[in-house]
Structure 1
Amino acid sequence: MRGEFNGLQKKIIDENPYAFYVHCYAHRLQLVVMSVASSCSSIHDFFEYISLIVTTTTTSCKRRDALTEAQHQDILDRLESGEISTGRGLHQSSTLSRPGDTRWGSHHTTLLRLDQMWSSVLKVLSTVDEYGRGPSQAAGLIEKMESFKFVFILKLMLKLFGITNELSKVLQRKDLNIVLAMELVNDVKARLATFRESGWDNLFGDVQEFCGANSILVPNMDEVIPVRGRSRREGRTVT
């Protein structure tokens, strides 16, 4: 689109040299989110596991049906126990969706559904591991999902995508102008800065609550552990 030799903007400027090119703000936002997420090895690995989880649980019609049935039964059990309430448009049946490589807004949907269908996904993975033909990654994925680190990154990315995805949708409105777009971008930057400076307690509280409800061990945050990507023999540790 913006290529200086053969891009669409170059062809338009050849016809009208007074045309002014503005790169799509929604696309710029997607590129920023993708670049930042990919630059952190832990986040990159997390989304690799997300893709494997989605593939393993939805690779066949039988597994998709099993996931839908497990979620349906989970909703009924939670309604009966009073954990959730009924209402129009609430607790609709759904399935895991594969995130797109170029539209990171789709990752938000995938993570939301995984969060909502947590027990159902684990149940299907257990079934795949027990009755699947040949070796599978299901057992390893269960172990990965039921780790504090996985849950922490899940909750972190849900909060971040909740902010950036909201901006992405607004930036795609037809009635948006460049002045309002800049104001919205500045507002989101301020919200992200606030989250970084004072959002830890709420985030950690959400993670602890989720781990407690799903029998996931919460580590001692003061415990000394090796630096990620380094051998224990190097003696490089962090809390």
Structure 2
Amino acid sequence: MMTNLFSSFDPSTNFNLSMNWLSPILGMLIIPSLFWLTPSRISILWLNIILTLHKEFKIISNNKGSTLIFISLFTYIMFNNFLGLFPYIFTSTSHMVMTLSLALPLWLSFMIYGWFNNTIHMFAHLVPQGTPPILMPFMVCIESISNIIRPGTLAIRLSANMIAGHLLMTLLGNTGPMLSIIFINFLIITQILLLLLESAVSIIQSYVFTILSTLYSSEVN
């Protein structure tokens, strides 16, 4: 019995194993070798998805070679989001430690590259075009703050969406023993619909995280 509703997001809750943080690398064990060796419908579908993402990221990002990084990031986040939908598997993307470790190095590398190589361009971004001279100091402060909080917003957006769906499913699931058979059937249908919704959220949030990272990288060039 869970003593705390948020204990489902505690790495030591499931079977008291602190090694649940190893769930992000479970893909190496789950994906069969035939997926990589022989052409199949799954590999062809995934290749089409990668090509579509490559074309979209190439339009946004000025550096065509950087699309591989963002496609890998999309794959990694989406896989971890999906893993959290399985029972007794720790949802790593629901923790700020995980999401910040993805967002902060990306943002920091963009800032270091931009300020060292395109200093004038980065200063120009602090003052939007057409700003009155009297408002320029305020706009510099606002743009600086909005730029600094970007990794935090990326991390919070991903973790909050993962937590919200799992909490809703946990709340509904805990009411099961107190319901009659008729209401349990409705509860099962609701849980299935929520599971489908969470599957869509897993893809959407990984796409949002990646597309925003691509937009941030395009601003430093």
TM-score between both structures, scaled by the size of structure 1: 0.29
Greater helix percent: which structure? 2
Question: Relative contact order, CA 8 A, sep 6+: which one is greater?
Answer: 2
TM-score between both structures, scaled by the size of structure 2: 0.30
